[in-house]
Structure 1
Amino acid sequence: MRVYALLNQERRFEEVAVTERIPAYERIADHLRQKIRAGDLAAGSRLSPHRVMAEEYGVSEIIIRRAMDLLRTEGLIESRRGSGTFVRPSSPVRRISMDRYLADKGPQAEPRTSFTKDQGIAWSQYRLDKAFAWIEADERLAGLFGVPAGTRVLERRFVFYALGAPSQLSRSCLLASDVEGMPVADPANEPWPGGNIGQLRSLGIEVNGGIVEETAVRMPTPEEAGLLGIGAGVPVFAITRQMFSDGRVVEVADPIVIPGDRAVRIDRISV
């Protein structure tokens, strides 16, 4: 019994030693993180002022600020000028599957795209920020299209909003030889029911050769984090997409960027 008591005492000493090696701001951040995830600090609730929290934890306000910075980077809290710091509301999880593009095919009783289907929103609850530019394809983009570098391309950059919240970024490109002078090249026509598949169909181009997507997980760039309203510590899905018609690539999206804390990727495999 004495041996077990000594072993337990040694373990407690080791736990204390490990805790002491962890910086105070990380311990405080972890404590608050657990309370947020457990729901003890509900979404939208206001955190105590730094001065009060410093007294509660027995540390300086500098330590509290560092803990808040860490949680803000992770996207768990947000500061509102003149109001304080609040637990950031969590967005509904979006389920992404390859069959979502079926929403873009065929006649539509009501306007929709694969994005509105994923989000479960009506057309009136969907909007886009967009910027169009004519560019010359660099080596990467040309390689994805299978055309020579320098080929003229329409570059379209989109920020997708669902219920007023930014939910996805996309850099979608089309070959100038397919779209120049056509309604598809006019940003005033966005958003377009049926998305890219609907747009290409209006040009007489059917996406009949399939769609290939390559998905990576990485940290967002500062610009991506700002546009999506996420912390710099929240990972994102970065998707490269190619749409095929009659043996050639007719659309390239590179990248599509989706916050990793708001999405689940679903792949169905038949065996």
Structure 2
Amino acid sequence: MSTGSVANMVDDLRRQIDAGDLGADERIPSTRVLMETYALSDNAVYRGIALLKAESYVYSRQGKGVFVRDRRALIAGARRIQGITQAGEHIEWRHSIRTDAPSWVAEHLGVGECVERARTVRRGDLVLQASRSWVHLDVTTDVPELDEPRPCDPTWQAVYTERSGNPVQAASKVVDARLASAEDCEALGLAPDTYAVMIMRSVYVTGDRVIGVGETVYAPGHPVDLKVS
């Protein structure tokens, strides 16, 4: 197939992975093969692979190639985290600043500088969850509110879609548990070495570009309600 389209390459690989034609930890075709198959430049292939990585479809092994990720832990598409707050809870915005993204975020966004937004959800004095999002600076052209520590009504993704005409999709949401970092402990008021449930690598895309990444950390004992919509 010779299409010259990054989107077609990405769609084909997604379909093969979703159908099981490419299984977990199986190597996908090499860059050269993908270039020849889809009539793409090497840079175009790299962009497509970066998008598949952002969606948690594939991962790299240095010097060995790109492989299919085991997606059993992936919460994607119709499955999502429902509801930010419940009765008696409120959102407290901590900051909205331009800064250098963490390395794992910069890998998704393809740039270092971005807008970092942070908030917590509280019930009285108890912090239930802490969230951070990192948004590509290009988005601020259409959504200048991102530079202010307040919510975008209804969300920055919806505002960007309406103003730019480019739909934004949540490409992936991965649920995991890990030992809370020093930043987690500070935000949630936890003692060191406390385990926290976190929603990480919430990746937002428009077309074949990643424009936002989010991370939410839940305090121990706070329910994480996963439902199929």
Distance apart, 1:100 and its partner CA: 4.3
1:225 counterpart = 2:189: no
Distance apart, 1:252 and its partner CA: 0.6
1:99-157 per-position Cα deviation (integer Å, ceiling 9, x unaligned): 446xxxxxxxxxxxx413xx245xxx523232222224454222212x2x43x311122
1:204 corresponds in structure 2 to 164
* C-alpha spacing 1:206/1:262, structure 2 compared with 1 (3 Å): farther
1:215 counterpart = 2:215: no
Secondary structure of the residue that 2:139 maps to in structure 1?
Answer: helix
Equivalent positions of 1:45-194 (< 5 A) are 98-100=79-81, 114-116=83-85, 119-120=86-87, 125-137=89-101, 139-145=103-109, 147=110, 149-150=111-112, 152-163=113-124, 165-180=126-141, 182-188=143-149, 190-194=150-154
* C-alpha spacing 1:140/1:223, structure 2 compared with 1 (3 Å): closer
Q: How many residues align?
A: 151
**Structure 1 stretch 200-209 or stretch 240-249: which is displaced more?**
200-209
Contact 2:96/2:118 (8 A) holds in 1? yes
1:262 counterpart = 2:212: no
Distance 2:116 2:180 in 1: 21
Distance 1:100 1:120 in 2: 17
Equivalent positions of 1:229-244 (< 5 A) are 229-238=189-198, 239-244=200-205
Distance 2:101 2:202 in 1: 16
Contact 1:184/1:199 (8 A) holds in 2? no
Alignment TM-score, normalising by the size of structure 2 = 0.53
Contact 1:157/1:171 (8 A) holds in 2? yes
Secondary structure of the residue that 2:153 maps to in structure 1?
Answer: coil
Contact 2:115/2:135 (8 A) holds in 1? yes
Q: Gaps (5+ residues) in structure 2?
A: 1-77
Distance 2:107 2:183 in 1: 25
Secondary structure of the residue that 1:212 maps to in structure 2?
Answer: strand
* C-alpha spacing 1:183/1:163, structure 2 compared with 1 (3 Å): farther
Distance 1:211 1:220 in 2: 25
Structure with higher RCO (Cα < 8 A, 6+ apart): 2
Contact 1:219/1:234 (8 A) holds in 2? yes
Contact 1:234/1:259 (8 A) holds in 2? no
Contact 2:140/2:147 (8 A) holds in 1? no
* C-alpha spacing 1:216/1:207, structure 2 compared with 1 (3 Å): farther
Distance apart, 1:213 and its partner CA: 1.2
1:44 corresponds in structure 2 to none
AA of the residue aligned to 2:218: I
Q: Larger % of strand: which? A: 2
Alignment TM-score, normalising by the size of structure 1 = 0.46
1:104 corresponds in structure 2 to none
Distance 2:207 2:142 in 1: 23
Contact 2:116/2:133 (8 A) holds in 1? yes
Q: Gaps (5+ residues) in structure 1?
A: 1-96, 102-113
Q: Larger % of helix: which? A: 1
Distance apart, 1:205 and its partner CA: 5.3
Superposed CA RMSD in Å reads 3.1
AA of the residue aligned to 1:236: A
Distance 1:198 1:161 in 2: 25
